[in-house]
Structure 1
Amino acid sequence: MIKQGFSAIVDENTEIVILGSLPSDESIKKHQYYGNPGNDFWRLLSRTIGEDLQGRDYESRLETLKRNRIGLWDVFKFGEREGSEDANIRGEEINQFSMLKEMAPKLRLICFNGKKAGKYEPLLREMGYKTKILPSSSGANRRFSKIRESEWEAVFKR
């Protein structure tokens, strides 16, 4: 089944963009980045920016990210995938990252949420961005929660 990614959530003040791979089935149904409550993304970001995001509605979460100069997007514009696992993504097309220079002129760091998205790190580094591959926020990655939390916190502490 072909799954479509979402539009970039960035603006002229965005300094950090977090790139996932492709929205999960739950996220697609809700039309929300990280809409699956089993994904720890909002909990991890809450800890790193020091503001509760989990207890907020989606629009409020996005406003908080915007205020903290954090943007969201995915590596893939679309891809074929059964279920929601990154390992099952096939026939993917990457987003047009050249648009970032115009959309987010203050962008200084691109973070990749997990290994699948992180495979495209060299491409964005070659475009002149500082990059960082973060451990996946997937609930399946909780066994490494202390390491994962410390790596996420290190990026977003200012």
Structure 2
Amino acid sequence: MTQTGRVFSLPPVADANSRILVLGSMPGTASLAASRYYGHPRNHFWPILYRLHGADTPHESYEDRLRFALAHGFALWDTIASCEREGSLDADIRDAAPTDIPGLLRASPGIRVIVCNGGKSYDTLKKHHGGKEEIESRVVLKLPSTSPIPTRQHRGLEEKEDTWRQALAPYIVKT
């Protein structure tokens, strides 16, 4: 079944210990249906996050995954609050309304790094918030999307993991 019409992002996941904000663009249909970030079983986000912290396999429970992310200083949100889209592809996003990322960063001052999970996330962040002090005062990284769809530069999980690992190495606190 194809989803059509206006879709809405999930609320942010952050706490007082958040240091790294991972921004997607807009969750895909599987994630929205499950009300879960990176809810598609083939998305590489959770395996990458766990591997970055020396864990082989993500927890089965979504709540445990969120606790793992927060315990390691990661916050999650999207750059798009709502949009028109059929299906899950970023290329099909129309009439996007941005989230209030500057507001989240004011409420979570410990976040020092913003990771854009893919080009659409990065482009949307820059378009709507690029010159704002809350963004400019932080490190902004554009990393390959964790979508299971291969790109020319990143064919699969291992290539994406290597890129994420290299980019985030200076910012990940070893526990």
Report if TM-score (shorter chain) is over 0.5. yes
Asked if structure 1 preserves the Cα contact closer than 8 Å seen for 2:80 and 2:124, the reply is: no
Query: Within 1, Cα distance between the matches of 2:166 and 2:104?
Result: 24
Residues 74, 3 of structure 1: CA spacing in aligned structure 2 closer, same or farther, 3 A cutoff? same
Residues 124, 49 of structure 1: CA spacing in aligned structure 2 closer, same or farther, 3 A cutoff? farther
Q: Please tell me the residue identity of whatever aligns with 2:52.
A: T
Percent identity, aligned pairs only, is 31
Which one of 115, 140, 149 corresponds to residue 161 of structure 2?
A: 149
The residue number in structure 2 matching 1:131 is 140
Measured on the aligned residues, the alpha-carbon RMSD in Å equals 1.7
Q: Does 1:75 align with 2:87?
A: no
**More off after superposition, 84-93 vs 122-131:** 122-131
Measured against aligned partners, the alpha-carbon deviations of 1:50-106 in whole angstroms (never above 9, x if no partner) come to 224523310000001111010000000001100000100000000011212332111
The residue number in structure 2 matching 1:50 is 54
Which one of 119, 136, 144 corresponds to residue 115 of structure 1?
A: 119
Residues 125, 131 of structure 1: CA spacing in aligned structure 2 closer, same or farther, 3 A cutoff? farther
Asked if structure 2 preserves the Cα contact closer than 8 Å seen for 1:121 and 1:131, the reply is: no
Query: Within 1, Cα distance between the matches of 2:89 and 2:61?
Result: 25
Query: Within 1, Cα distance between the matches of 2:115 and 2:48?
Result: 14
Report how far residue 44 of structure 1 moved: 1.2
Query: Within 1, Cα distance between the matches of 2:62 and 2:18?
Result: 18
Asked if structure 2 preserves the Cα contact closer than 8 Å seen for 1:11 and 1:103, the reply is: no
Structure with a larger share of its residues in helix: 1
Q: Does 1:31 align with 2:40?
A: no
Residues 38, 99 of structure 1: CA spacing in aligned structure 2 closer, same or farther, 3 A cutoff? same
Q: Please tell me the residue identity of whatever aligns with 1:18.
A: V
Asked if structure 1 preserves the Cα contact closer than 8 Å seen for 2:79 and 2:125, the reply is: no
Structure showing greater Rg: 2
The alignment covers a number of residue pairs equal to 158
